[in-house]
């Protein structure tokens, strides 16, 4: 039995995200991603202009007249949510933390997927793959996925995007849409991301907090690294330090964005101090325009 308070939390998220899900679907979510390709539908008698390569020779031999195979686009998708649950997700300078926004984003994508009758799976990771929920269809399955995200307690604190991507690379045998949701405060994942991006439709969603890009001038502050458990005393009153900090983060963001661009990987940048609706809708609209 699922405790009532858990069900209430899950349904609250479903209600909160319903409007955006309807918006995404009205904007033709199902056209933004292509299916696995073409699948066999039926055979019919050959007509002038049909592709000779599609002739079904076995049926032709039995019938005595040529028949061709008819194919149609396979629309069913497998949507995999790969969600970073490392300790850095427990940070937020505003009303919500990065991890909370990541859960809501996952819910939006999951509900949009089942509305299109797609299969949804989940990988929750830190510096290891901690929870894997195999892709399935249906509302009950998606509610389970959201419950896992809401009440998951990680064993580890660190981040390894490489481990998560390599894990998915071993498990996903059919082409899938992979939403990788993280703050991307990691390194050494480029090769693994490149390999997954070649085999699957990979979308990188970066969760950002403005305080991670611009230090306020509030004097001496002890900064705590939640993943490593270390503390560093810094003088935020120093203009030089603030400029260096901001420039370093801009450089890291630009380098990552350029890598995504070179690899043909779609990317969405989410500022958690603002609504994620606009960047998410803009992404789907851009995908839709490219698919036409």
pLDDT in tens, 57-67: 988 898 899 98
Q: What SS3 state is found at 239?
A: helix
First to last CA, the chain: 46
Tell whether 164 and 56 lie within a shared domain: no
- Whole-angstrom CA distances from 249 to 171, 188, 243, 255 are 33, 17, 10, 10
Do 121 and 14 share a structural domain? yes
Q: Which two tokens stand for residue 254?
A: 């630009």
- Span 70-113, pLDDT tens digits: 765 555 789 999 999 999 998 888 888 999 999 989 998 998 88
With beta carbons less than 8 A apart as the criterion, state whether 196 and 178 touch: yes
Q: Do 100 and 69 belong to one domain?
A: no
pLDDT at 39: 52
**For position 50, what pLDDT does the model report?**
81
Same domain, 168 and 278: yes
Whether the Cβ atoms of residue 167 and residue 195 lie closer than 8 Å to each other: no
> What pLDDT does 172 receive?
92
> Are residue 61 and residue 101 in the same domain, yes or no?
no
Query: In the block, which residue shows the tokens 């085999």?
Result: 199
Specify burial of residue 120 (Cβ count, 10 A radius: 0-12, 13-18, 19+): buried
In this structure, the answer to whether residues 84 and 219 fall within a common structural domain is yes
Whichever domain contains 22, its CATH number is 3.40.50.410
65 plus 11 within the same structural domain: no
Closest CA to 160 of 106, 234, 232, 82: 82
Asked if residue 3 has pLDDT above 80, the reply is: no
Q: Which helix (H) or strand (E) holds 236?
A: none
One domain, residues 212 and 84? yes
58/122 same-domain check: no
Q: State the chain's mean pLDDT as an integer.
A: 86
H-helix or E-strand spanning residue 120: strand 119-125
Torsion of CA 94, 96, 102, 103, to 10 degrees: -170
**Domain check: are 85 and 220 in the same one?**
yes
Give yes or no for a contact between 141 and 168, defined as CB atoms under 8 angstroms apart: no
Q: Please indicate, yes or no, whether residues 65 and 184 belong to a single structural domain of this protein.
A: no
Beta strand extents in 28-176 (DSSP E only) = 37-45, 67-74, 78-84, 119-125, 129-136
Domain boundaries, position 115: 4-31+76-291
Both 185 and 95 in one domain: the answer is yes
Q: Is the pLDDT of residue 174 over 50?
A: yes
Record the pTM.
Answer: 0.81
Under the banding of pLDDT at 50, 70 and 90, the label for residue 197 is very high
Question: Three-state SS for 148?
Answer: helix
Q: How many domains does the chain have?
A: 2
Poorest-pLDDT segment among 70-84, 153-167, 168-182, 257-271 = 70-84
Beta bridge partners of 233: 222
Residues in CB range of 146: below 8 A, 6 or more apart = 10, 13, 14, 103, 106, 107, 110
Q: Residue 233 contacts by C-beta under 8 Å, 6 or more apart in sequence?
A: 220, 221, 222, 223
Residue 1 has pLDDT above 70, yes or no: no
């Amino acid at each position: 039995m699922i405790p009532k308070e858990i069900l209430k939390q899950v349904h609250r998220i479903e209600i909160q995200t319903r409007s955006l899900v309807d918006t995404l679907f009205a904007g033709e979510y199902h056209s933004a991603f292509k299916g696995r390709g073409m699948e066999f539908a039926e055979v019919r008698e050959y007509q002038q202009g049909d592709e000779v390569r599609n002739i079904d020779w076995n049926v032709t031999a039995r019938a005595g007249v040529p028949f061709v195979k008819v194919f149609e686009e396979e629309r069913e998708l497998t949507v995999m949510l790969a969600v970073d649950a490392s300790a850095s997700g427990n940070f937020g300078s505003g009303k919500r933390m990065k991890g909370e926004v990541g859960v809501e984003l996952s819910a939006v994508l999951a509900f949009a997927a089942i509305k299109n009758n797609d299969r949804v799976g989940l990988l929750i990771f830190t510096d290891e793959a901690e929870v894997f929920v195999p892709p399935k269809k249906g509302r009950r399955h998606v509610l389970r996925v959201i419950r896992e995200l809401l009440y998951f307690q990680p064993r580890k604190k660190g981040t390894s995007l490489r481990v998560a991507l390599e894990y998915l690379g071993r498990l996903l045998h059919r082409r899938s849409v992979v939403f990788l949701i993280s703050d991307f405060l990691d390194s050494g994942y480029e090769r693994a991301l490149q390999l997954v991006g070649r085999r699957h439709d990979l979308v990188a969603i970066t969760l950002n907090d403005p305080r991670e890009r611009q230090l306020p001038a509030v004097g001496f502050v002890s900064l705590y690294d939640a993943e490593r458990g270390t503390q560093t005393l810094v003088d935020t009153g120093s203009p030089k330090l603030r400029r260096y900090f901001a420039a370093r983060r801009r450089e890291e963001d630009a380098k990552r964005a350029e890598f995504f661009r070179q690899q043909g990987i779609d990317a969405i940048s989410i500022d958690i101090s603002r609504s994620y609706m606009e960047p998410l809708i803009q992404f789907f609209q851009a995908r839709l325009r490219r698919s036409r």
